[in-house]
């Protein structure tokens, strides 16, 4: 599989760093200690500014000179459009409109530092640039954990941010708790809180980045609520049949399939859907990580089965596609959220949620 990491010819290094683990595809800088945001920017090769520069094109045909008119070409400024250029090597990262506001790489780190009120306490784990440097990503860990059961089942609290300098997409920040024992990302958007925030590149972007953690309820609310919910689910027993039904509902792709499930016509659903459900159910039943006290035969185990299926069983074109699906609001994140909502309903109403109208 190829990678799209930026290679900086000036420094002779790939723009990526990782703490302790081998850096992506053995490229980039591996560091022993968690860096500050300033160090992370350097290690990841993100220490360049982006400049919005007027865009010119060649005009052709007849031009006026002091001696009359003659054929030739002239440079014309393109109105309302600009090129975003890297300050260190003049690479053109993209073409943007007049209202586009650049968020510099170092400003993207303000989101993380604002969560804990300073650069202490945020554990930067990876950062890097893709392409010519037009896209950057940062992952960091919050210092404490979500503990389920007697404390052996631990979930680390991760935050992910990606932004671009080419005019495409928003600045996207996501809160993604990851269950250590199986590296499952436990996506869950709480009531009135979102675990994903998207910010457009407009004049208020810098301020909104610094305020994003408030919208996400990251300081305390989200993770404290999740810890309570996960601990409750670890005590709710579910039968194998109920697990299968919950998986079917969570992974249901469309209304037609849902109508068949409601009628009890499971044999009529598509083979692709049947296989998907079987794979996720097998993961729920036989995966080592599903045999812990907190997950075996519990509602928390069912929720982990869906998230684990997408991360440990499902195949993706490449790492970027996987990231998009799991963290950045793609299919896997949507299904994980559906599973979360179903588990919450089951915890409140039990098997009644299977009694369709």
Dump pLDDT digits (tens) for 41-94.
999 999 999 999 998 887 765 555 555 555 556 678 889 999 999 999 999 999
Q: How many domains, the chain?
A: 2
The answer to whether the beta carbons of residues 295 and 304 sit under 8 Å apart is yes
Mean confidence (pLDDT) of the chain = 81
Query: 245 and 220, same structural domain?
Result: no
Distances (CA, A) of 324 to 64, 94, 178: 53, 21, 16
Between 195 and 254, name the one with better pLDDT: 254
Q: In the chain, what percentage of residues exceed pLDDT 70?
A: 85
The answer to whether the beta carbons of residues 31 and 17 sit under 8 Å apart is yes
Cβ-proximal residues to 323 (8 Å cutoff; 6+ apart), any chain: none
- Domain extent, residue 203, equals 102-228
| Last residue in a domain, options 228, 262, 277 | 228
Query: 209 and 122, same structural domain?
Result: yes
Q: What is the mean pLDDT of residues 165-181?
A: 81
Query: 173 and 280, same structural domain?
Result: no
Residue 175's pLDDT is 80
Between 354 and 342, name the one with better pLDDT: 342
The yes-or-no verdict on residue 180 having pLDDT over 80 is no
Cβ-proximal residues to 286 (8 Å cutoff; 6+ apart), any chain: none
Most confident of 1-15, 85-99, 283-297, 314-328: 85-99
Q: Lowest-pLDDT range, 115-124, 170-179, 275-284? A: 115-124
Residue 214 domain-assigned? yes
Query: 333 and 280, same structural domain?
Result: yes
Residue 267 domain-assigned? yes
Residue 1 binned pLDDT confidence (cut-offs 50, 70, 90): very low
Give the global pTM: 0.76
Query: 240 and 220, same structural domain?
Result: no
């Amino acid at each position: 599989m190829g990678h799209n990491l930026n290679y900086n010819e000036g420094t002779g290094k790939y723009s990526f760093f990782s703490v302790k683990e081998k850096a992506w595809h053995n490229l980039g800088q591996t560091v022993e200690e968690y860096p500050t945001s300033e160090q992370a920017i350097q290690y990841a090769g993100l220490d360049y500014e982006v400049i919005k520069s007027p865009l010119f094109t060649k005009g052709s045909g007849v031009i006026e000179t002091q001696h009359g008119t003659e054929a030739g070409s002239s440079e014309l400024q393109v109105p309302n459009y600009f090129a975003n250029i890297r300050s260190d090597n003049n690479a053109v990262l993209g073409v943007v409109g007049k209202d586009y506001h650049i968020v510099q790489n170092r400003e993207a780190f303000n989101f993380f530092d604002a969560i804990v009120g300073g650069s202490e306490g945020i554990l930067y784990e990876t950062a890097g640039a893709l392409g010519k440097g037009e896209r950057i990503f940062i992952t960091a860990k919050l210092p404490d954990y979500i503990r389920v059961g007697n404390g052996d089942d631990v979930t680390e609290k991760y935050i992910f941010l990606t932004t671009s300098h080419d005019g495409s997409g928003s600045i996207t920040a996501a809160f993604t708790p990851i269950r250590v024992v199986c590296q499952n990302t436990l996506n869950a958007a709480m009531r009135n809180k979102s675990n994903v925030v998207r910010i457009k590149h407009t004049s208020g972007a810098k301020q909104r980045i610094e305020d994003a953690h408030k919208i996400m309820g990251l300081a305390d609310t989200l993770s404290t609520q999740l810890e309570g919910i996960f601990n409750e689910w670890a005590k709710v027993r579910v039968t194998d049949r109920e697990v299968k039904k919950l998986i079917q509902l969570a992974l249901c792709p469309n209304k037609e399939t849902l109508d068949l499930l409601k009628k009890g016509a499971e044999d009529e659903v598509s083979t692709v859907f049947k296989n998907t459900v079987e794979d996720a159910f097998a993961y729920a039943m036989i995966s080592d990580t599903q045999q812990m006290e907190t997950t075996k035969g519990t509602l928390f185990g069912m929720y982990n089965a869906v998230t684990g299926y997408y991360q440990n069983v499902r195949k993706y074109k490449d790492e970027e596609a996987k990231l998009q699906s799991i963290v950045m609001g793609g299919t896997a994140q949507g299904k994980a959220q559906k599973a979360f909502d179903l588990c919450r309903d089951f915890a409140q109403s039990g098997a009644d949620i299977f009694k369709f109208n």
